[in-house]
Amino acid sequence: MTDIGIAHLSLLHLEPDELIDVAAKAGFDFVGIRVRGTTPAEDIPDQTPGSPMSQSTIMRLQDTGMQVRDIEFLSLDGNTGYEEWMPMLEAGAALGAATLTLAGQDSDLDRLGDTLAALVHDAAPYGITPALEPISYNAVSTVEQAGALASAAGCHVMVDPLHLERGGSAPAEVAALDPSLIPALQLCDGPAELPERIEITAPLPRGMTTDGEPRKVESRAHRLVPGDGEFPLHELLSAVADGTPISLEVPNAGLVSRLGDLGYARRLRASVEAVLAGAAHV
């Protein structure tokens, strides 16, 4: 049995406790929670242990039987350090998270490796393992880069099909990784080629910005539901170990507006079932 969850980015306008309620009603097994914004302007509620939001989130977890598998989002940019990640680790540990998803923005890869190793050391007492996600518009943009850094530092690699496609990686490179490096597989879909222009008419949640850059617009607000695009999802599923948890990270402002929060969550849940069934017959 494969555990299936929903990432906070799919419904980022919801508070963590609200996301848990919607995810439970839609039949998901776990959620990812954003405890830190991607930029200082991103309005993420305080989730310090004992805070009202932390307490409410824990109550929703207890009431629904849901789990928080991962927290996000931390960018290692050469200046990120202890003061940035310790509040995240404390918040995540209170929620029972096992993974902290992060990005590598520091172009000095030797320094990035040292920072990553320090984070791994600090995260261990909290039962949390960092997971480096290759992101197509960051310094660490490929599976090969992320795998090398993660292996050296003792952390994980978070695989996202959108960034595989836009960063020039392939499922075969995922298959070449030690399977133990991959704690979960994110899932979304999209066109084979990045559109030159993507129009988003709905406002982005929580002060999120894209700078109009097509890769960022697509990544943060216009991904396609699995099965609706052209990404090689069956090949990607075959590249990871059987039973690897799957997290639906599919922000799509237009579909959420049309279907509503619960309707959209149910659409995502149904889509992954269909993709998994198709992969089983490949």
User: For the chain, which ranges sit under pLDDT 70?
Assistant: 280-282
- Which tokens sit at 128? 């949390």
State the DSSP H helix or E strand holding residue 70, giving kind and residue range, or none if neither.
strand 67-76
CA angle (169, 272, 217) in 5-degree steps:
55
Going by the DSSP 8-state scheme, the letter that residue 205 receives in this structure is G
**Minimal CA–CA distance to 241: which of 188, 181, 156?**
181
62 φ, ψ to 5°? -65, -40
pLDDT at 41: 81
Q: Residue 166: CB partners within 8 Å, gap ≥ 6?
A: 136, 137, 194, 215, 218, 219
Q: Residue 146 and residue 101: Cα distance in Å, rounded?
A: 12
Q: Residue 158 and residue 146: Cα distance in Å, rounded?
A: 9
Q: Residue 215 and residue 138: Cα distance in Å, rounded?
A: 11
Q: Residue 234 and residue 244: Cα distance in Å, rounded?
A: 14
The whole-model pTM stands at 0.95
CATH number of this structure's domain 4-280, picked from the four choices 3.20.20.150, 3.40.50.2300, 3.90.226.10, 3.40.50.1220: 3.20.20.150
